[in-house]
C-alpha cells in the first residue's frame, strides 16, 4: 500500500475518511502530528506516521490526549502547523488544556493548530456516545464538520488556514460514518512549508487576566462567525420556496438527500447544510428560515444545531416557525443518523407511507429470522492472553473467598464484561478509572469495607492515565491490587506502539519504559507472571490477596496473539484431543466455561473437538482440562 504522501496530485483514490484527513493535513503543510489512539480516530496519525520520513514530519503516539494537545500547541507557538487527533472520550482528557489555550490563542508566530475529534454516535466502539460539539463551544473554539470523505480533506486544509488567520486552535469534528467510511477522493498536492521553528511569545493565562482575555476571545469568535457566514462549506440546495427546510451538519447531509429522493420530496423540501457549526452562522440560517414556515433539524445525538436554531429564532422574533427534530421527537437524541431515521421523520411530517419491502416478504423474513438467527457475542481471539488472565483471576478470587471487588478499564480486556467474557470485572468506566476507583474502595476499611479490591488495566492504559491514580493510591495508603495486563500493544485500536514497547510511532527504537521498575520506585510490591502459566498466576494472585494492606502490583505479561503471530508466524504447540479421555458435555470446562473459539463440541459425540483453522497453538487448554484430555506438543520452530 502506498504511503499517504505518495498519491499523485489530480488522481482519484479510494480512501478511508481518516486517511483523507491525514492527506488533507499533508496538503495543508502539516509539520507536527500527535495523538493517543482511540476508535474511530486512530488511522489519522497512523497514516501520517508512514509519511513522516518522506515529508520530514514529527509524528508521535503521545501517552494521552492532553499531552498530545500540548505538544501540538507547542509546535503551533513555534510557527509550525500541527494536528492533534483523538476520539470523543479523549477530548474530555485534553479539554483542560484546550480551554486555556483558547484564552491565549496561538500568538504571533503564524503557526496553526487543528484538533481533530472523532465522535462515535451509536457507540460502536466506545463506552458512550458523547457529542463533542458542545465542548467546542465550552472551550471557545471554532468548530467545523465535513459531510463527505472528499470534503474532509478540503475542510482540514480550510481549518488550518482559519487557524493561522485567527491565531487559534480550530476543532474539526469527524464521526464514525465519516472516519470509517471509504470513498473516492481526488488528490491535491502535499505541501512542504520550510520554516525554522522559533518561539518568543509570552502567552499566559492567570487570574485577573482571564476575564479580559475571555472578553477578547468572544470578540474574536464574532469575527470568526462573520467568516463562517460566508463559508463555502455552508450550502443550500433545493427549491426556491420549499415547504420545509432541513437543517443539517455534515453527518446528516447524505442521509437527508437520500430520504428526500426515497419519498419524492426533492421539489418540496430544501436542505441547508452547515460545515461550520460553531460559532453558529446565524445569518445564513435566519435568511433561509425567513422563507419557510417549518424546519426539520437532522443531526446525530444531541440537539446542538436545533437549540441554536431555536435561540436565533427567538432573538429574531420568529417564534411562529415550527421546528421538528429532537424536541418534537421526530429524530431520537441518541444513536447515529441513518437514511431510515430521516425517512421516518419526513413521513410523519408529510403524512406519507414509506415504501416497504412488501408484506409477504416482511412476514417471511421475520418468521425465518425469529426461527434461525442467533446472536454472535464478542470474545477474545483464540490464543489471547486475556482469556487466561481472567480465568486465573476467577480461580484466585473464588479460592480467596472474600468476595473480591474488581474494577476494570478500557481495552480488549473490556470484553470481560460482555456475555461471553468471564464477568470478573464489576465496575467499568473511563480510561484509568479502574485504579482511581480501586484506590477509593481501598480507603473504606474504616467504614467496615472488608472486600479485597483489584483494579485491572492494560499496558497502554497504564501509561495513559493509571499512573497518577496509582501515585494517589500509594500516597494515601490505599489497600488494593493493581493488575496490569501487559500484552505489548495498544491492541483494541490496532496494535499501536506505546512507551512500554520500546518503539515510537514511526517505528524507531526508543527508551522502553519499565513499568515494574516504575511501580517499585513508588514503593509498590510488584510481582510478574505469565498468564499462560495458569497455576503460577493463580498462586501469585492468591499470595497478593493474602498480603492485605498497601498497593500491590501484578504484571501479567504475554504479547497479544495477533502481534505475536505477525512476528513469529508459527503455532508454538500442535494440539490434539484424546477422545477417550474427554468427558464432553458433562465436564464442559474447556468449552462452556473457558470458551476458546477454537474449541467446539461435536453434536453427535458430545466430545470437544479442535477447529484447526482457528487454533493458535497457545497450549493453554491443556492446563485447563481436568482430565488431561488435551495434549500439546511443541512444534519444530
Residue numbers 216-275 binding another protein by CB under 8 A: 254-255, 257-258, 262
Which CB atom, from 200 or from 613, has the smaller least distance to another protein?
613
List of residues 6+ apart from 605 with CB closer than 8 A = 579, 584
Supply the minimum distance, in Å, between the C-beta of residue 91 and another protein.
17
Among 96, 108, 124, 548, binds another protein (CB under 8 A): 124
Among 8, 376, 546, 569, binds another protein (CB under 8 A): 376
Q: Is 377 in the site for another protein (CB under 8 A)?
A: yes
Q: How far apart are the first and last CA of the chain?
A: 30
Residue numbers 12-71 binding another protein by CB under 8 A: 12-14, 39-40
Among 202, 317, 353, 356, binds another protein (CB under 8 A): 356
Residue numbers 582-601 binding another protein by CB under 8 A: 591-593, 595-597, 599-601
Burial of 584 (0-12, 13-18, 19+ CB in 10 A): middle
Distances (CA, A) of 491 to 313, 331, 410, 461, 511: 48, 35, 11, 11, 20
E strand or H helix at 304, and its extent? helix 304-315
Q: Is 419 in the site for another protein (CB under 8 A)?
A: yes
Per residue, the 3-state secondary structure of 238-284, as one string, reads: CCCCCCEEEEECHHHHHHHHHHHHHCCCCCCEEEEECCEEECCCHHH
Q: Is 570 in the site for another protein (CB under 8 A)?
A: no
Q: Is 357 in the site for another protein (CB under 8 A)?
A: yes
Which CB atom, from 215 or from 378, has the smaller least distance to another protein?
378
Supply the minimum distance, in Å, between the C-beta of residue 585 and another protein.
9
Supply the minimum distance, in Å, between the C-beta of residue 586 and another protein.
13
Which CB atom, from 74 or from 348, has the smaller least distance to another protein?
348
Closest by CA position to 60, among listed 563, 500, 496: 496
Instruction: Assess contact for 607 and 545: CB atoms under 8 A.
Output: no
Residue numbers 469-498 binding another protein by CB under 8 A: 492-493
Q: Is 184 in the site for another protein (CB under 8 A)?
A: yes
Which CB atom, from 53 or from 597, has the smaller least distance to another protein?
597
Supply the minimum distance, in Å, between the C-beta of residue 613 and another protein.
4
- Alpha-carbon span 424 to 386, nearest angstrom: 12
Which CB atom, from 82 or from 251, has the smaller least distance to another protein?
251
Supply the minimum distance, in Å, between the C-beta of residue 544 and another protein.
29
Supply the minimum distance, in Å, between the C-beta of residue 13 and another protein.
8
Cis peptide bond N-terminal to 192, omega within 30: no
As a residue count, the chain comes to 637
List of residues 6+ apart from 209 with CB closer than 8 A = none
Look at strands 573-577 and 630-634 and give their pairing. Answer: antiparallel
- Alpha-carbon span 581 to 595, nearest angstrom: 19
Supply the minimum distance, in Å, between the C-beta of residue 110 and another protein.
35
List of residues 6+ apart from 408 with CB closer than 8 A = 414, 416, 417, 425, 426, 427, 428, 434, 455, 456
Per rule CB under 8 A, count of chain residues that contact another protein: 62
Q: Is 620 in the site for another protein (CB under 8 A)?
A: no
Q: Is 415 in the site for another protein (CB under 8 A)?
A: yes
Residue numbers 153-182 binding another protein by CB under 8 A: 176-177, 180-182
Supply the minimum distance, in Å, between the C-beta of residue 517 and another protein.
32
Which CB atom, from 181 or from 439, has the smaller least distance to another protein?
181
Which CB atom, from 465 or from 608, has the smaller least distance to another protein?
608
Packing angle of the helix pair 385-400, 534-546 (nearest 10 deg): 40
Supply the minimum distance, in Å, between the C-beta of residue 208 and another protein.
45
Supply the minimum distance, in Å, between the C-beta of residue 492 and another protein.
6
Supply the minimum distance, in Å, between the C-beta of residue 261 and another protein.
10
Supply the minimum distance, in Å, between the C-beta of residue 50 and another protein.
16
Among 3, 70, 110, 125, binds another protein (CB under 8 A): 125
Supply the minimum distance, in Å, between the C-beta of residue 135 and another protein.
22
Sheet holding 58-61, edge to edge: 58-61, 32-35, 81-87, 112-119, 170-175, 143-144, 276-278
Q: Is 637 in the site for another protein (CB under 8 A)?
A: no
DSSP 558-585: ---HHHHHHHH-S-SEEEEE-TTT--GG
Torsion of CA 484, 490, 492, 495, to 10 degrees: -140
E strand or H helix at 82, and its extent? strand 81-87
Which CB atom, from 7 or from 32, has the smaller least distance to another protein?
7
Q: Is 425 in the site for another protein (CB under 8 A)?
A: no
DSSP 317-340: T-TTSEEESTTTTSS-SSS---HH
Positive or negative, the CA dihedral 598, 602, 603, 607 is negative
Note the residues at the interface with another protein (CB under 8 A). 12-14, 39-40, 124-125, 148-150, 176-177, 180-184, 254-255, 257-258, 262, 338-340, 343, 356-358, 361, 364-365, 368-369, 371-381, 412, 414-415, 419-420, 492-493, 591-593, 595-597, 599-601, 613
Amino acid at each position: 500500500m502506498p504511503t499517504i504522501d505518495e498519491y499523485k496530485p489530480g488522481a482519484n483514490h479510494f480512501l478511508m475518511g481518516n486517511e483523507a484527513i491525514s492527506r488533507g493535513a499533508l496538503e495543508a503543510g502539516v509539520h507536527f502530528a500527535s495523538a493517543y489512539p482511540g476508535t474511530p480516530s486512530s488511522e489519522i496519525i497512523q497514516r501520517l506516521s508512514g509519511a513522516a520520513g518522506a515529508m520530514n514530519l514529527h509524528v508521535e503516539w503521545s501517552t494521552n490526549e492532553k499531552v498530545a494537545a500540548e505538544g501540538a500547541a507547542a509546535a503551533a507557538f513555534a510557527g509550525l502547523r500541527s494536528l492533534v487527533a483523538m476520539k470523543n472520550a479523549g477530548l474530555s482528557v485534553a479539554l483542560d488544556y484546550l480551554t486555556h489555550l483558547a484564552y491565549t490563542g496561538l500568538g504571533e508566530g503564524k503557526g496553526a493548530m487543528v484538533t481533530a475529534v472523532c465522535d462515535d454516535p451509536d457507540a460502536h466502539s466506545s463506552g458512550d456516545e458523547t457529542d463533542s460539539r458542545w465542548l467546542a463551544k465550552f472551550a471557545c473554539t471554532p468548530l467545523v464538520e465535513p459531510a463527505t470523505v472528499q470534503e474532509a480533506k478540503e475542510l482540514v486544509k480550510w481549518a488550518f488556514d482559519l487557524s493561522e488567520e485567527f491565531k487559534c486552535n480550530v476543532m474539526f469534528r469527524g464521526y464514525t460514518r465519516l472516519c470509517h467510511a471509504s470513498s473516492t477522493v481526488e488528490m491535491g498536492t502535499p505541501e512542504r512549508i520550510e520554516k525554522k521553528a522559533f518561539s518568543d511569545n509570552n502567552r499566559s493565562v492567570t487570574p485577573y487576566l482571564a476575564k479580559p482575555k475571555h472578553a477578547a476571545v468572544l470578540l474574536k469568535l464574532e469575527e470568526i462567525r462573520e467568516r463562517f457566514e460566508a463559508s463555502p462549506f455552508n450550502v443550500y440546495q433545493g427549491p426556491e420556496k420549499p415547504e420545509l427546510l432541513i437543517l443539517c451538519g455534515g453527518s446528516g447531509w447524505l442521509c437527508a438527500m437520500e430520504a428526500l429522493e426515497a419519498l419524492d420530496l426533492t421539489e418540496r423540501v430544501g436542505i441547508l447544510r452547515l460545515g461550520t457549526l460553531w460559532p453558529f452562522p446565524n445569518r445564513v440560517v435566519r435568511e433561509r428560515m425567513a422563507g419557510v414556515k417549518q424546519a426539520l433539524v437532522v443531526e446525530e445525538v444531541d440537539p446542538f444545531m436545533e437549540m441554536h436554531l431555536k435561540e436565533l429564532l427567538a432573538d429574531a422574533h420568529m417564534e411562529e416557525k415550527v421546528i421538528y427534530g429532537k424536541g418534537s421527537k421526530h429524530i431520537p437524541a441518541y444513536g447515529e443518523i441513518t437514511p431510515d431515521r430521516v425517512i421516518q421523520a419526513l413521513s410523519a411530517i408529510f403524512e406519507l407511507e414509506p415504501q416497504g419491502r412488501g408484506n409477504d416478504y416482511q412476514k417471511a423474513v421475520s418468521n425465518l429470522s425469529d426461527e434461525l438467527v442467533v446472536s454472535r457475542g464478542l470474545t477474545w481471539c483464540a490464543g489471547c492472553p486475556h482469556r487466561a488472565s481472567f480465568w486465573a483471576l476467577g480461580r484466585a478470587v473464588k479460592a480467596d473467598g472474600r468476595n473480591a471487588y474488581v474494577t476494570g478499564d478500557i481495552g480488549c480486556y473490556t470484553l470481560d464484561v460482555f456475555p461471553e467474557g468471564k464477568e470478573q470485572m464489576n465496575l467499568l468506566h473511563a480510561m484509568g478509572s479502574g485504579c482511581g476507583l480501586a484506590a477509593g474502595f481501598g480507603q473504606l476499611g474504616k467504614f467496615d469495607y472488608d472486600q479485597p479490591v483489584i483494579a485491572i488495566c492494560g499496558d497502554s492504559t497504564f501509561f495513559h492515565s493509571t499512573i497518577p491514580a496509582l501515585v494517589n493510591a500509594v500516597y494515601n495508603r490505599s489497600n488494593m491490587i493493581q493488575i496490569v495486563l501487559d500484552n505489548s500493544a495498544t491492541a483494541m485500536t490496532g496494535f499501536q506502539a506505546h512507551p512500554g514497547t520500546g518503539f515510537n510511532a514511526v517505528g524507531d527504537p526508543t527508551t522502553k519504559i519499565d513499568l515494574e521498575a516504575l511501580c517499585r520506585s513508588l514503593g509498590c510490591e510488584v510481582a510478574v507472571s505469565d498468564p499462560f502459566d495458569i497455576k503460577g498466576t493463580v498462586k501469585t494472585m492468591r499470595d497478593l490477596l493474602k498480603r492485605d494492606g498497601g498497593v500491590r502490583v501484578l504484571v501479567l505479561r504475554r504479547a497479544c496473539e495477533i502481534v505475536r503471530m505477525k512476528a513469529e508466524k508459527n503455532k508454538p504447540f500442535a494440539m490434539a484431543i484424546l477422545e477417550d479421555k474427554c468427558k464432553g458435555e458433562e465436564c464442559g470446562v474447556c468449552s462452556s466455561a473457558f470458551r476458546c473459539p477454537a474449541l467446539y463440541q461435536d453434536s453427535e459425540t458430545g466430545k470437544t473437538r479442535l477447529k484447526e483453522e482457528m487454533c493458535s497453538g497457545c497450549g493453554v487448554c491443556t492446563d485447563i482440562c481436568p482430565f488431561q484430555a488435551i495434549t500439546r506438543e511443541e512444534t519444530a520452530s
